[in-house]
Amino acid sequence: MTDQEQNKQKVAYQGVEGAYSHLACKTVFPSHQALACEDFQSAMLLVEEEKANYAMIPLENSTAGRVEEIYRLLPKTHLQIVGEHFEPVNHCLLALPGVELKQIKTVASHPQALAQCFHHLESLNITPIVAIDTALSAKDLAAKKASLHTHTSHGAIASTLAAELYGLNVVADNFQDVSGNTTRFIVLAKNASEHAYNPKQAYITSLLFSVRNIPAALYKALGGFATNGVNMIKLESYMDGGTMEASHFHIDLAGYPEQQGMVNALEELNFFAKDVRILGSYPAHKYRQTHSFV
């Protein structure tokens, strides 16, 4: 590794090169070095150990829903959410160079990608084969170039980045059955940068908390946001710690902690809830404005 590479800022992600998380890294941090990790925890650990500046972590997908593992990991990390990114998921049908769409009989990819392309695969009479990762299926296909004559009927579903990295051809773009499939990523850092509140900027504030053991605790804990005019965009509940004794909650709010309405609402939340923790306050992504949910 050169001195320039060592000094370059880094962003960690889960997956192999060409994964959609890798694509998100290149979109948000085009000048950073992207570090592939085997799992989400490893990506977050690189940031905690200051071996990476950021971690690009998928939190939810418009088709597949939330990423359960992340909700179990967030309470255990001390990292801060410093940004969010919405990445459109464009599934591409990839093949070895020289292979045409009509030749493909089988295709490998992650189960979610296969499910999202089910009707297109069915209409083309292509048999899906489950793989553990979209980009890995592309990488495995590329490894078969040496025996091209025996693999002309096999393809992969992955990103355009995977096609570029592994020298594959895109034989069908936008191959998903329904357009608009989008993944929301959060950007984690060890410390949040100190930026003055900008009243012209829309912000998202993310919180974790659990409720006290009193009647209507959740209703009372969240009531302060309604009475103080704070828009609650997202509410997720989940069990943590291997027991079924208490629910924990993750909420996303439209606003910044210094705004008076948010100050009042957080005071009420602290009265009825416990273990309240602000995960971060960060600028709302432009996707929210075009889709009118902030």
If one counts every other C-beta atom within 10 angstroms of the C-beta of residue 259, the result is 18
Entry pTM:
0.89
β-pair partners for 208 = 250, 277
pLDDT tens digits for range 195-212: 778 889 999 999 999 987
pLDDT-above-70 percentage for the chain: 92
Residue whose tokens read 């959609």: 20
Residues designated as active site: 183, 185
Q: pLDDT tens digits for 205-256?
A: 999 999 877 788 889 899 999 999 999 999 998 876 666 566 789 999 999 9
Q: Is the pLDDT of residue 151 over 80?
A: no
Q: Do domains 92-172 and 203-290 have the same CATH topology?
A: no
Classify domain 9-88+182-189 at the CATH superfamily level.
Periplasmic binding protein-like II (3.40.190.10)
pLDDT at 285 over 80: yes
Of 49-53, 61-65, 109-113, 272-276, which gets the smallest average pLDDT?
A: 61-65
Q: Is 112 helix (H, G, I), strand (E, B) or coil?
A: helix
Domain spanning 203-290: CATH 3.20.20.80: no
As a whole-number percent, the residues of the chain with pLDDT over 90 amount to 73
The pLDDT of 166-170, averaged and rounded, is 96
Which helix (H) or strand (E) segment holds residue 66: the answer is strand 65-66
Residue 1 has pLDDT above 50, yes or no: no
List the domain boundaries for the chain.
9-88+182-189, 92-172, 203-290
b/e for 83-119, b at 16 or more Cβ within 10 A?
bbbbbebbbbbbbbeebeeeebeebbbbeebbebbee
Give CATH for domain 92-172: 3.40.190.10
